[in-house]
Amino acid sequence: MAGYIPGEQPRDGTYIKLNTNENPYPPSPRVFEAIRAALTGNHLRKYPDPLGTAFRETAGKILGVNPEAILIGNGSDDVLTIVTRSFVSDSGVIVSLTPSYLLYRTLAEIQGAGFKEVPFTENWELPAPWPLSKASLTFVSNPNSPSGTTAAISEFRGLLEELSGPLVIDEAYVDFADQSALPLAQCPNVIVTRSLSKSYSLAGIRFGFAVADPPLIREMVKVKDSYNCDVLSLAAATAALEDQEYMKTNRSRILATRTVLERSLVNLGFAVAPSQANFVWCRRHKQPAKPLYEELKRRMILVRYMNYPGYGDGLRITVGTDAEIARLIEELKQLV
């Protein structure tokens, strides 16, 4: 087994990092206040609240869901791991679309389960017929990575009748999209997962959560590590969610920069998928993407090179600040 290989994380800080979909803006000032407050008293030496009650109540209020319908996770990847361990045995099968988040395959391999992937249509639409009814678990990344594209929520409703195992709608990037599938989390067989890494600028503190019918959540609580979230990340995540205005302001800036990035790439002759995320997927039909990735890296700009078997390669570029994107485009002009 090869394991999942995350994007490069150079520690020297001199690169323009447009490769792992981090937010170019810092987290809300309230996050820093909340962490500093959690450093007082006995919080560090005592175990955290295993269920993250305060976070669940805050998130429940903001999202309009029952706090009992929320599961806390040490990052969205922890939530995806918990979901897999809860619902997939090693005679089971995980189904995912492709190209999509490569971790889904790794999770199946670690679990010793089968893995089937079904290609998106050429325009990044859900294929038909799809999915496989016998799937123990079906993952849909929406917005999808690497494409940044979304499927309409109405399309998921039809799928639900065909599935025996849960449908996981991975909404790590949904705060940059027009629509969320959260209302579907009231169905008995849908798990919506979220991350605070991207829209809330908290990749460093590791926090994600799931929303699903409370009986599903209770099963997942049995499987998760008892204390999977620490006191500081719980405090940070709660404060981040409370500052919706701050998140939405950054979202608007990123969406504006995304439009500039998309147009510039099109002008340079790239084929660009219509993104609803904080990154853009682009390809050149007559030029391989790897030399571009390598040349950008040499010029201290990291983007993500991806190559999917049977599909081909491309670059996934995170929406950075305006200055970072301007610099990227300047360099690309010299390379294409």
**Stretch of 119-127, 135-143, 150-158, 200-208 lying at the interface with a second copy (CB under 8 A):** 200-208
Task: Give the residue among 108, 87, 107, 57 at the shortest CA–CA distance from 223.
Answer: 87
Residues of this chain, 109-138, that bind a second copy according to CB under 8 A = 110, 112
Residues of this chain, 19-48, that bind a second copy according to CB under 8 A = 20, 22-27, 31-32, 35-36, 39, 42-48
Binding of residue 64 to a second copy (CB under 8 A) = no
Instruction: Work out how close the CB of 143 gets to a second copy at its nearest, in angstroms, rounded to a whole number.
Output: 19
Binding of residue 204 to a second copy (CB under 8 A) = yes
Interface residue with a second copy, options 225, 269, 274, 287 (CB under 8 A) = 225
Round to the nearest angstrom and report the end-to-end CA distance of the chain: 37
Binding of residue 99 to a second copy (CB under 8 A) = no
Instruction: Work out how close the CB of 46 gets to a second copy at its nearest, in angstroms, rounded to a whole number.
Output: 5
* Interstrand relation of 16-18 and 312-318 (parallel, antiparallel or unpaired): unpaired
User: What one-character-per-residue DSSP string does 86-117 give?
Assistant: HH--TT-EEEEEESS-THHHHHHHHHT-EEEE
Query: What ranges in the chain are assigned the alpha helix state H?
Result: 29-38, 53-63, 76-87, 103-111, 153-160, 214-223, 231-242, 244-267, 290-298, 322-335
Task: Give the residue among 97, 318, 307 at the shortest CA–CA distance from 197.
Answer: 318
Cα separation of 290 and 268, whole Å? 17
Binding of residue 300 to a second copy (CB under 8 A) = no
Binding of residue 13 to a second copy (CB under 8 A) = yes
Question: Site residues (CB under 8 A) for a second copy?
Answer: 1-4, 6-7, 9, 11, 13, 17, 20, 22-27, 31-32, 35-36, 39, 42-50, 53, 74-75, 77-78, 81, 85, 89-90, 110, 112, 197, 201-206, 221-223, 225-233, 236
